[in-house]
Amino acid sequence: MDLEKHTKETPHLQEQIQHLESYIEVLKFESEKHECASPVEGSSEDRRVTQLERTVFILKRVVEKLQVENKRLVSGKTPISQRASSADKLKRDYARLKEQHAESLQKIQDLQTQINKKRVEAKTGMMSQRDQSEQFRIQLEQVKNELEKKSHLLDKVKALLHGAAAKEKLLLKEFRCTLDLQKKYGKSRVFNTPLCEQGIAGFGIGAAAAGSTAIAEIQFADYIFPAFDQLVNEAAKYRYRSGDQFDCGKLTIRAPCGAVGHGGLYHSQSPEAYFAHTPGLKVVIPRGPIKAKGLLLSCIRDPDPCLVFEPKALYRAAVEEVPVADYQLPLGKADILKEGKDITMIGWGTQVHVLTETAEILEKEYKISCEVIDLVSILPWDQDTVCRSVCKTGRVLVAHEAPLTSGFGAEIAATIQDHCFLNLEAPVARVTGPDTPFPHVFEPFYLPTKWRCIETALKLMDY
């Protein structure tokens, strides 16, 4: 029997079918819209979509039942009593599904509101990130411009070596201070050597004795000991044993020294005290780029063999505005970096920066005025400047990374006791590394930090 011919006989069922089919289409559309629009994946949203799909499935089943029931009603195969009960059941199903549909639509609206809110937040966050990125870029340009006006210690040493290579011989090693020198000046003037420290020093001595200006680099100061005999017994005594007929004064040895944060026992030592016991050598330790340039030029042009120990922790940490013109700084002359009246603090290399920070804290927190001296030159060293300062303050603190026993601080303490004994208000204090090999993981406990220096300074004041 044709269903369309008997539509008027079952208007309520046909109306229900149309409404249900419309609801199905709406639910499908809302579900697809939700799936395409939602940028957020989460368990709550997934459950909502699943509920919508279940509702669509139920509606499809009900439509199928309605269609079957309509056919039965039209065909007249269903009894009148069952027709009435079926109609009531369908009305109840229709009302229940209509209510579920309304709830589903409300969930979709809530979900869409959340999605729009998150989109606005994401857009605002992106704009904020863009603003921060632009601000960071401007700050980066400012820092870059400032750095272009300044020089790192490493850059200054490299520039000086380029100048020296244009005239004399260089023996190359680590830390890229001599990067590209060989390409620029040739293998006859700049060359690498085998890892043989006594050979490096011996070759430099021979080149200097023959009239060349030789600048040799030991890879790490820790490895200078195989060359100890060449430096102490040959280079230092060359002029003396020949009655001033020969010398190797044009020899300069460069060696990175000191702690760097992860060097351990073979890449962290400070061996300056070993060579300070040797007449005929000169030993300097710069604290930054300005000192590095002036001291290195002075050592290259000095008539005696010189050792330049360069604190490797300062290669990229120390930044200063370095004069472009050629200049030399005197060997054996200390610098007073900060004047004071209560305590004299003496250090060299990296330790100068530690003592400067220590002095600032003591003055701010404890009202203690500290005079900070950079010794600069270990051999010869400036006894006059140190003793004048000690006579003024009456208290002394010497700090160095090398071990306590026979460190160069012991020589300073002995000299102060000899010349300034009656002016001392307390014994000379030393803050140093302990008498152990240089550790790896325990390096922070080994080094003479500002906190150890502050503790010692307070004890000096309370003595």
Both tokens assigned to 123: 């857009």
Q: Which residues are catalytic?
A: 197, 267
For residue 423, give Cα distances in angstroms to 363, 389, 399, 427: 22, 11, 21, 11
Q: Edge to edge, what strands does the sheet with 429-433 contain?
A: 335-338, 370-374, 343-347, 396-403, 429-433
C-alpha–C-alpha distance, residues 380 and 359, integer Å: 26
Tell me which H or E stretch contains 443: helix 443-446
For residue 404, give Cα distances in angstroms to 76, 304, 398, 408: 114, 29, 11, 9
C-alpha–C-alpha distance, residues 286 and 276, integer Å: 16
Helices within 166-304 (DSSP H only)? 181-185, 197-209, 228-229, 238-241, 272-276, 289-301
For residue 64, give Cα distances in angstroms to 2, 17, 128: 17, 9, 54
Q: Looking at the chain, how many residues does it have?
A: 463
Would you say 178 and 170 are in contact if contact means Cβ atoms under 8 Å apart?
yes
Q: In degrees to the nearest 10, what's the CA dihedral of 397, 398, 400, 403?
A: -100
C-alpha–C-alpha distance, residues 416 and 351, integer Å: 20
Place of tokens 């140093």: 432
C-alpha–C-alpha distance, residues 97 and 59, integer Å: 7
Would you say 358 and 345 are in contact if contact means Cβ atoms under 8 Å apart?
yes
